[in-house]
Amino acid sequence: MTIQQVLYVLEIAARASVSQAAQKLYLSQSALSQQLRRLEEELGYALFSRTSNGLQLTPEGQRFCDQAAPVAERWSEFCKAVQKQEQAEQLRLRLGIGSRVYSNELFSHIMEYFESRPEIEITFVTEAGQDVVEALRKGELDLALDRLPMEEPQSDSGDLFACQLIRERQCVLLGKDDPLAQRDSLSFRDLQGCTMISGLEDSAEDRSMRSAIRKYHITVNRVFRSDGIDTSMRLVREGMGVSLGPASFADYFRVRAVPLEPETWVSLQFICLQSSLKRGEIKRFRDYLTELCRERAEQR
């Protein structure tokens, strides 16, 4: 028996679900189930039984958890004591903020979170056409809240970890007086001959736009580029061109967002390196945001 297995059992018991516990522990469901089976085989009795309401502790499992709880508490105190100096050095976060954070009204919640944690020195790095994945790999950011570039995986892979916070319909963004703004939907072919507005050359936004142009054989009139989303959206509002973006940009930037056909979806993601998930402040912030976004989705 290992202390990690003991902590796994307590997490499963708290959530009455192996799948939910696995998500909390950043493990696959199969890996966590295997650890549970190994422990039960060693103990010689079952810790859980399956019911219509999920997993339920057996009498032996309840006694195990009652005895394990103070062990887990003492273990947590021990870890905090021996890691105190390391944590003090790590409680600095450089957080990349993409424009979807603002358009989905998350920034005020993020500020409330860090205001209640004065031990964390936070630096916000706002979007300026940078490639957040490259910045993470270079150590220029600790984590980022943004979409992933199209060529990056949409889930954890290799050195990168990403989880979806908010999923939105991809739209064509236009000035409200643009004739196309009155359509219920637009295809990429409707953008033939348009002026496109994008991020800096070779930015994630620019690569995404150029990929769509190549895929759908679109001929554009010209491209305006900017390193700031406010400038880009001002150009859209003034009818100087069209851009691609999520539905939430419509109200926030006072433009018209017409859904793309066929349906295309983009996501605001929590992105960091796999190695960064070992840092408690990053794990706790991730848990806070995923729970916040889950509750908001259920309320809609």
226-265 confidence digits (pLDDT tens) = 888 899 999 999 999 999 999 999 999 999 999 999 898 9
Is domain 87-166+267-299 classified as CATH 3.40.190.10? Answer: yes
168: nearest Cα among 279, 98, 269? 269
Query: Which has the higher per-residue pLDDT, 185 or 207?
Result: 185
pLDDT at 269 over 90: yes
H-state helical runs in the chain: 3-15, 18-25, 29-43, 59-82, 84-90, 99-103, 107-115, 132-137, 204-215, 229-237, 249-253, 280-299
Rounded CA-CA distance 50/57 in Å is: 9
Q: How far apart are the first and last CA of the chain?
A: 45
Domain with CATH 3.40.190.10 in the chain: 87-166+267-299
Say which residue the tokens 């900017």 belong to. Answer: 226
Pick the CATH number of 3-82 from 3.20.20.70, 3.90.79.10, 1.10.10.10, 2.40.30.10: 1.10.10.10
Domain(s) of CATH 1.10.10.10: residues in the chain: 3-82
The number of beta carbons lying within 10 Å of the beta carbon of residue 154 is 13
The answer to whether 269 and 223 are in contact (CB under 8 A) is no
- pLDDT at residue 88 is higher than 70: no
Most confident of 81-85, 149-153, 208-212: 208-212
Task: Give the count of beta carbons closer than 10 Å to the beta carbon of residue 43.
Answer: 15
Question: What is the model's pLDDT at position 134?
Answer: 84
Statement: 167-266 belongs to CATH 3.30.70.3000: no
Residue 100 has pLDDT above 70, yes or no: yes
Q: Helices (H) and strands (E) in the chain — how many of each? A: 12, 11
The answer to whether residue 10 scores a pLDDT higher than 90 is yes
Q: Who's near 38: CB < 8 A, 6+ residues apart?
A: 5
Token pair belonging to 133: 């994945």
Residue 286's nearest CA partner among 121, 127, 119, 93 is 93
The residue among 69, 28, 49, 267 whose CA lies nearest residue 166 is 267
What is the spatial distance between Cα 223 and Cα 232, in angstroms, rounded to a whole number?
11
Mean pLDDT over all residues of the chain? 88
> Measured between alpha carbons, how far is residue 53 from residues 56, 84, 202 in Å?
8, 40, 51
What's the rounded Cα separation, in Å, for the pair 287 and 255? Answer: 33
